[in-house]
Structure 1
């Protein structure tokens, strides 16, 4: 079956997600995060793209980029090859580091642009890795107003009047969870149970507890890609909400991600 053609952004702005192959961690030590940002900076200079936001998570990366002449596929390929080559040499591994096809969404209007920036910045808060976005070391939110590889002047220029303050306002884990309580659930408990069984074979919380950590992590990641809430996953697996958030996290790297 042929791949669907990648959508082209008339604005030149894309929200990109690069994920580790098999959802494996792509950052194991602080040096790895620093090296990825170096590769991103080098890619920015070579391709002429502008970095508007970024967030490095244990097994994936969110980027908001405005491309110039080089298409988005070439930009991300350049970035992925640079970092993966270094990572593989460091850890003595071979093969792909990232999933073959990265995700990209064109950003064509002001409202979506603001929501994408906010989503990228809030990612570590929603995952339980930081109490607030500006405390997370591996997010461009932390470096607002300070020199960084982000083109902050361009970011502010693209923001509608007053939107920058809204996007950068402090949100905590509890405030994000409170905002979600008013949303209607997308799936019933039975539907979540069926999805869990399909993902890992577990037909009860007791079955799930006997799975390896790797199998638990893969199942949770699969349910999250289907927009199943942390609370529903917790009820289906018998784990706590915080455990569900953290089960797939690369421990040492993220433990040092918050100052």
Structure 2
């Protein structure tokens, strides 16, 4: 998305503690940064840090080589501050791991609020099956960078 249009992602955005959201964010120029195990682990640590700080409760997530799908229940934060903190901290963690200093994440992110209880499991399955659809593995359990509370 052209940076000049990134404000359109925020139009109508409303975040409320307790609500469940699917967040998707991608690396700059879809660079395959997380194909590196140690870079992926540095980002995963930051996902877990957001949960430790009680900004959110992670229901399911998958870190693909060039993007992240993150199904959360928002706690003591807004989507904007959660993502700002996550992107900043994960970028700094990647620099400490040796990633050359450059913009890691594309500006903005996509979010979708889930309203029906039966949507949650369907979306969680979509999230964790992403590596299968991308042809990275033949079984979900073979992909190392995902988690779900139901497993």
TM range (shorter): 0.7 to 0.9
Which residue, out of 137, 145, 152, partners 2:144? 137
- Name the SS of the counterpart of 1:41 in structure 2: helix
The equivalences for 1:3-22 within 5 A come to: 3=8, 4-8=11-15, 11-22=18-29
> Aligned residue for 1:86?
93
Deviation at 1:37, TM superposition (A): 1.2
Q: Which segments of 5 or more consecutive residues in structure 1 lack a partner in the other structure? A: 142-151, 157-167, 169-259
Specify the alignment match of 1:164 in structure 2: none
Distance 1:27 1:124 in 2: 13
Q: 1:41: Cα distance to partner?
A: 1.3
Quote the residue 1:121 is aligned against. Answer: 128
Q: Which residue of structure 1 lines up, in the alignment, with residue 61 of structure 2?
A: 54
Which residue matches 1:257? none
Matches within 5 A, 1:40-189: 40-89=47-96, 90-94=98-102, 96-140=103-147, 152=149
- How much does 1:7 deviate? 4.1
Alignment partners' CA distance in 1, 2:83 and 2:67 = 13
The total of aligned residue pairs comes to 143
RMSD: 2.0
CA contact (8 A) 1:15 1:64 kept: yes
TM-score by length of 1: 0.51
- Cα separation, 2, equivalents of 1:33 and 1:57: 9
Change (3 A) 1:28 1:118: closer
Contact 2:23/2:112 (<8 A) preserved? yes
Distance, in Å, in 1 between the alignment partners of 2:74 and 2:17 is: 10
What secondary structure is seen at the aligned counterpart in 1 of 2:121? helix
Distance change (3 Å), C-alpha of 1:10 and 1:47: closer
- Distance in 2 (CA, whole Å) between partners of 1:69 and 1:9 is 9
How far does the alpha carbon of each residue in 1:57-83 deviate from its partner, in whole angstroms, 9 at most, with x for none? Answer: 000011111111211111111111111
1:68-99 alpha-carbon deviations (Å, 9 max, x no partner) = 121111111111111112223422223x2111
Matches within 5 A, 1:222-233: none
Greater strand share, structure number: 2
Which consecutive residues of structure 2, in runs of 5 or more, have no partner in the other structure? none
